[in-house]
Amino acid sequence: MLASIIKASKNTVFFGGAGVSTESNIPDFRSGSGLYSAKQVYGYPPEELLSRTFFECKTELFFRYYKENLIYANAKPNAAHQVLAELERNGLLAAVVTQNIDGLHQAAGSKNVLELHGSNHRQYCLECNEKYSLKYILNAENCEGIIPKCNLCGGIVRPDVVLYEEPLNETIMGLAIKAIVAADCLIVGGTSLVVYPAAGLLRYFGGRNLVLINKGETPYDNRADAVIHDSIGKVLSETIESIFDK
């Protein structure tokens, strides 16, 4: 069914969440186990640990949690990432809008990726805006304790990700809205659609087919044209096999 929808569509956009990357063994910090672990090990829930206020007031603990729980430098793209990149290469996918910060879509070969929450592969100095790589902040020689410091001015180097209490990047958000408005097929995968403002993007879709792929139910299931409760990697792999008769 999904294969025929994609083949019949002139403009397909994919909107994905944490469930896309869990199949690359990157855990969802918002899950029950992630919430429990954060409170047990760090004494605070993830939403507080990853807030702008916490970053400013408890910077060392912020970086400890961030480095230990949100960076998976050795993670590899899974079947879902690979299929989406192949669809784009064959002109069957216009854009990927993602809530993930792991860069796996780009690693798989996707070009038009809109990262709503930024990327942990990019870092910048809060004082002079000098740019740094992920490798830089993981190198203990570049840190004061666990806090990465700029080698030009000594300022704190922070990840280019959107923290709680911070607004989404207006430019990226605008491009995501534009892509979804133009789509006649929107595939939403690996997200429970409860995290705002990202989840609110669905209200901009007025196309023909809204397809939801998620292991669990979402608040939008009754509005979708097709709902598939299964592994997103499995679903997309079977879909591309049908499209290209592999």
The answer on pLDDT for 213 being more than 70 is yes
The per-residue pLDDT for range 104-142, each reduced to its tens digit, is 999 999 999 999 999 999 999 999 999 999 999 999 999
User: Which residues, at least 6 apart from 97, have a Cβ–Cβ distance to it below 8 Å?
Assistant: 13, 14, 15, 16, 114, 116, 176, 179, 180, 201
pLDDT of residue 210: 96
| Residue percentage of the chain with pLDDT more than 70 | 96
pLDDT grade, residue 85 (50/70/90)? very high
- Give the global pTM: 0.93
**Mode of pairing for the β-strands spanning 185-189 and 209-213:** parallel
Alpha carbons 23 and 37: distance in angstroms, whole number: 20
Most confident of the following: 111-125, 197-211, 232-246: 111-125
Q: Catalytic one among 81, 117, 121, 229?
A: 117
- Asked if 158 and 101 touch (Cβ cutoff 8 Å), the reply is no
Cα end-to-end distance, the chain, whole Å = 16
Residue type for position 42: Y
The answer on pLDDT for 30 being more than 70 is no
Domain boundary assignment for the chain: 1-26+74-117+167-246
Alpha carbons 160 and 182: distance in angstroms, whole number: 28
pLDDT of residue 61: 97
Please tell me the number of Cα atoms within 13 Å of 224 on its side-chain side.
Answer: 21
Active site residue 121: no
Is domain 1-26+74-117+167-246 given the CATH code 3.20.20.70 in the classification?
no
